[in-house]
Structure 1
């Protein structure tokens, strides 16, 4: 009598799984770099609490060498108010997010905030969480 080896060996084909994981990793890396393209890179002041908003926003960035950007478009300070008002148009309920480095003087921030006070605009200051 001849005995047959009828044991079944299960195998999992993993070659396609590694391809899928590579494409997912690539996809998430590309998407994460495009998360907020209207932001100038800078170190923000830190805060212990934060508030998130889903409203329509206009980004106003001030660099350490006091260059002003409205949604990545450089604007001279003396033309900042008129450019901001033109960009807002009739939608005065938009919020302007000010991104200013932590090491600039308070007077630089006050100069920018005066534009909002004068035109009754909503300004918020962007910070980074310190948890």
Structure 2
């Protein structure tokens, strides 16, 4: 009797794996740059206690050059009140998160907060942990 030595071995074709990984890497790099294109860098005031909120938020950022951004869109200070009021939804309980650099004058913060007092808006000052 003649025996044949033709056993089949399982193989995994990995020749296209590098191409797939390259395309996935490109995809995630492109998506990650589109996710947050306009970031305003600033050092926030420090606080010992931080609370997180789950409410509907509108972000108001002030740079050291006194440029104002409402939800990452630049707004002149004169138009700040109307922009905030247009973003507010009366059906939802919304809060304006104020991000102001730690070295800004108190008067600049008071000027912004007076808009909230005048229009009965809820303002919260963002801080970084100490």
Task: Name the TM-score, length of structure 1 as normaliser.
Answer: 0.69
Unaligned runs of 5+ in 2: none
> How far apart, CA to CA, are the structure 2 residues paired with 1:57 and 1:97?
7
Give 1:1-131 correspondences, 5 Å limit: 5-6=5-6, 8-36=8-36, 40-45=39-44, 46-47=46-47, 49-53=50-54, 55-88=55-88, 90-91=90-91, 93-128=93-128
Mark the runs of 5 or more structure 1 residues left unpaired by the alignment.
none
> What root-mean-square deviation, in Å, do the aligned CA atoms of Structure 1 and Structure 2 show?
3.1
| 1:67 Cα deviation after fit | 1.0
The answer (yes or no) to whether the contact 1:42–1:101 under 8 Å persists in 2 is no
Measured against aligned partners, the alpha-carbon deviations of 1:74-107 in whole angstroms (never above 9, x if no partner) come to 2222331233213325356222122222332233
What's the offset of the Cα at 1:122?
1.7
What SS does structure 1 have at the residue aligned with 2:61? strand
Residues paired across the two proteins, number: 128
Q: Is the 1:92–1:121 Cα contact (8 Å) retained in structure 2?
A: no
